[in-house]
Structure 1
């Protein structure tokens, strides 16, 4: 099983033999024996490359999980898991990661000198299993999955604009007023956007054509501060700008229900100490943060 996983991850039999420090013939024998034992073809071989069959893809994912569980169980029993060590992979959105996750990472790394951390701060939903990520901080409702999640806070989706823009163009009194205003949209796929208002059972959607479409929340924030129009962001993204008077919140009475924040992970009770220690630390940090209540 370990040989099979290494062949796929290294992209070939020769590379797997170098990685495992065994002969190419031993790699071939292991794969042939595995396929004969299972009674199914796992790898399609050509003179230039390899390709997993459908059964091979499924067996690869299951094998990775099994090998990880064996490693974790061995560590827990042998006592080598008494101090966090190894590499920890964490992901969050760009701005949330910088503002709220990095302080926990810094604290964690100062406590545990044997752990290396890789932080993926990207404004997209990562696949923990496929991308080998240990912990993710997610904002919004979670889809059903086998992943474990701990709720640690919540944020609101808010509308805001600069005081200068509102003084010049007026303050919208209700969502129906928005199409008459300059709208700044972040991460829009189409030239039109649709914003929802109110709780789920009484929600109302307003369709608008933005004046500006940008690919990042930071750009939308800068445009709103510059007086270009009204944008919709998460409360933590605009909190400091609202507090210093660069932005003003509008239509607060029409906001949607708050979005939950979860720490998402794949670990179980036998999980590595490095992951459990980080989860405990960041969950405590986020639960006690005044901006996320």
Structure 2
């Protein structure tokens, strides 16, 4: 077994947090994984992994070696793709990530359009409500909502979304908050994935205003919170694109608009490499063009006249 294969095995073990899982990922036997790791540690002369019956951890040397393995294997892949022409012709596998509901509403249709144009590209869409580490998880392109915190990435702004408070008209007939402070008296339903569970941010007179709320109900998915608000159960806070269709249909009404905080930017993010494969370049251009044309992602077009 050559060293590149050993590196791939070590990388799989570290990312999968286990020998058996790494073996399944690489379609090899668990004993082959064990032998490869043992051979690496013997050759290097230090322990890379600390193993117990319940857990697996990287040693300090193992973490440094993992970072180097990722870099070396990425450079190897880049060299092979360059030789095969992938920097001029879109082909190969592309991994894309976006928040769940945003991905379902906006990104998924664009993926289908792109794949119809480029038959030699396949895509894995990772739709999750967390910030995915693009390097660690092998992501080529990400859609980020909010202010960027990752250095070393290229980012193109494609729009903005508002943070809106909404409820069904039937609920608002019984209790309509006119000031954010009155939300303390409202029935609040929110999502644990929204990071807006216990404290909601507003602006009043040009100054930040923080309001502590006590949700009566916390659910794990934004869709569930929106559905409960739609049914007239209470008030929720979401991003404007998530309820745009409900607002247009009259099922939900946005309130406290004069107190909304600044809109959040939406960026398409990709790795800041010296050479970017054609599959990434073409997809980024396609995604930026489509998202940039969507009125739901332009706050000036979201507010009623």
TM-score (norm 2): 0.81
Measured in 1, the distance between the counterparts of 2:162 and 2:226 equals 16
Once the two structures are superposed, residues 231-251 of structure 1 have per-residue CA deviations (whole angstroms, 9 ceiling, x without a partner) of 101000011101111111100
Q: Is the 8 A contact 2:9 2:36 kept in 1?
A: no
Measured in 2, the distance between the counterparts of 1:164 and 1:234 equals 21
Q: Is the 8 A contact 1:191 1:210 kept in 2?
A: no
Q: Is the 8 A contact 1:91 1:135 kept in 2?
A: yes
CA 1:168–1:257 in 2, change beyond 3 Å: closer, same or farther? same
What is aligned with 1:288?
293
Pairing 1:7–2:9 present: yes
After TM superposition, give the deviation of residue 79 of structure 1 in Å: 2.8
Q: Is the 8 A contact 1:141 1:260 kept in 2?
A: yes
| Runs of 5+ unmatched residues, structure 1 | none
Q: Is the 8 A contact 1:128 1:134 kept in 2?
A: yes
Measured in 2, the distance between the counterparts of 1:137 and 1:77 equals 29
After TM superposition, give the deviation of residue 17 of structure 1 in Å: 12
Once the two structures are superposed, residues 6-45 of structure 1 have per-residue CA deviations (whole angstroms, 9 ceiling, x without a partner) of 2312666x968969xx9x9999777655x27xxx654679
CA 1:26–1:238 in 2, change beyond 3 Å: closer, same or farther? closer
RMSD of aligned residue pairs (Cα, Å): 3.4
Measured in 2, the distance between the counterparts of 1:232 and 1:244 equals 18
Once the two structures are superposed, residues 51-99 of structure 1 have per-residue CA deviations (whole angstroms, 9 ceiling, x without a partner) of 6431222222222123212332443355354322221111111111011
Pairing 1:219–2:221 present: no
Q: Is the 8 A contact 2:86 2:277 kept in 1?
A: no
Q: Is the 8 A contact 1:72 1:271 kept in 2?
A: no
Measured in 2, the distance between the counterparts of 1:253 and 1:290 equals 21
CA 1:249–1:69 in 2, change beyond 3 Å: closer, same or farther? same
| Runs of 5+ unmatched residues, structure 2 | 299-305
Tell me how many residue pairs correspond in the alignment. 284
Measured in 1, the distance between the counterparts of 2:5 and 2:156 equals 35
Written as runs of structure 1 = structure 2, the 5 A alignment for 1:182-197 is 182-187=187-192, 193-197=198-202
SS at match of 1:57: helix
What is aligned with 2:118?
112
CA 1:214–1:2 in 2, change beyond 3 Å: closer, same or farther? same
